[in-house]
A = this chain, B = another copy of it.
């Protein structure tokens, strides 16, 4: 396993390019070029370097789950009966598509997950029939997000 721990220096122009594309991945390179006053080829070259450095890890269309009827987001703290069971439990959690994030955390729980459901009933069903039936999971604590007030990436 290669450890990539190196940090990288980016200048103001890199930041402008990245900020632009972090807000709209399909913005044309040439449009950015005109705005910041350098050539398209220069941006092209900078993007190549930023990709090589690992700073850019891809691009995504963002979809709004509300429109598909997913309106209930929750965080669930999970207690494992033995911490060593973590890898198996995570493997099972991966099989539940509603689980969007899974963190191995310090503190009370072994695992903290973020989950997105259609409604409270759906959440309850997942808790009772999928999550709590995973071997090794002894107990859970659920926190429903009534409203997400901030959602962003790191700022440059």
Contact = CB atoms under 8 A, between A and B. Distances in A.
Contact of A55 (B4, B64, B105): B64
Contact of A146 (B99, B104, B151): B104
Interface string A118-142: 0000000000000000000000011
B101 A150 contact: yes
A47 to B, nearest CB: 9
A94 B155 CA distance: 12
A106 B152 CA distance: 22
Nearest to A155: B97
Interface string A99-120: 1111111111100110010000
B101 A25 contact: no
A63 interface: yes
A93 interface: yes
Sort chain A's interface into a size bin: 35 or more
A54 B62 CA distance: 11
A61 B153 CA distance: 10
Given A150-B90, A152-B100, A141 B69 contact: no
B149 A97 contact: no
Interface in A23-65: 23-26, 53-65
B61 A150 contact: no
Given A7-B67, A149-B90, A155-B97, A21 B103 contact: no
Interface of A: 4-8, 10, 18, 21-26, 53-70, 73, 75, 90, 93-94, 97-109, 112-113, 116, 141-156
